[in-house]
Chains A and B, each alone.
Chain A
Amino acid sequence: MVLSHDHVHQLESESIFLMREVAAQFERPVLLFSGGKDSILMVHLARKAFAPARIPFTLVHIDTGHNFPETLEFRDRLVDETGSTLHVGLVQDSIDSGRVKEEEGPNPSRNGLQTVTLLDTLAELKADVARGGGRRDEEKARAKERFFSHRDRFGQWDPKNQRPELWNLFNGRRNPGEHFRAFPLSNWTEMDVWQYIADEEIPMPSLYFSHQRNVVERDGVLLAESEFNQLMPGESWDERTIRFRTIGDATCTGATESTAATLEDIIAEVAAARQTERGGRSDDKRSEAAMEDRKKQGYF
């Protein structure tokens, strides 16, 4: 057997290199696991990077409490299969302890609150690096992100003053109290991810595939029926054929109408898509630089 050198396998090799580089340069790495396809891909690549050993770090799930049940089932099964350890940081705990205050109004999002829970959890685990599944093609601020992204003692990102990253030389040196975010999937696009998933036959949560679900259209976003999404006056649930292009907090992840039921269908759909995958995310629509602003605070 020899390795394929097509573009997804070049990306695979690069990501495995990054996975190992993180393990070598840091003492207490964690992997941020959201239950979405990118974090499932991260776990898959981590297994490849360290086989036959087990994944040498904890998976961390920052849980807003607003989950799709399918996500949690899938998460727990994956943890079992890979023999990894999972640490769950609950946004509810941050609310209960008064560290954050729930947003008021009809559509409270816990998205922004996650940052505090995330930073508290990293501090609790004494993590010096958190791997995230962020990709540069997702969003314009992420296009500027480094593979090894420095965070100051307050967990903040300074986009104007990032360390230059040249060749395959990654500088993870840090002073006490500082930490890093590492993004091994930086160079993947949504299409690459799906092509690779199909190629490697990586199991994915059912949410990504077409199914019937009650949704309500609000500000151009299709929100799914759940205990966390309440109808506003004048709205009603409407059953449609949908799937999710991204999976996150149920209150802000929008569905897309789709009949794509297989990986091949999804790839064909992504190829023809005229909307970005985050186009369904109401959290990004809050302002032109919403992502940059959240990232500066310490967001994923």
Chain B
Amino acid sequence: MGLIARRVEADGIPTTSLTSALSITRSVDPPRAVFLDYPLGHTAGKAKDPEQQREVVAAALAAVDELEQPGAVKMLPYRWSRDDDWKRETMLGGDARSHRSSSPEYQCEADRALAVAAGDCPTCVFL
């Protein structure tokens, strides 16, 4: 996403990026980023916690006024849990990635039926 941030910004639109992968963000170096120290898959806050999601997203938006140095990263204070054992488990975790095939992988079979019934997908952009 950092490459996209850089392109959009270079084309004249300011960007702000949330991130939970600090080392990747530092390496790709988007113009502005806001780091939330959570396991991947919760970049905009905890599930079913709209108040925290609001604070996280508001912090990401406010970064556009606060950060003045290109490449700066604002650190959010939230912790995922009382201890950080999840970080060790993440490092030790094996390959949980799904099998790579070129057929669409639907969340549920009902979605496949809906998409097939819809036919052409004008809001799908195949590049």
A binds B: no
Q: Which residues from chain B sit less than 8 Å from chain A, CB to CB?
A: none
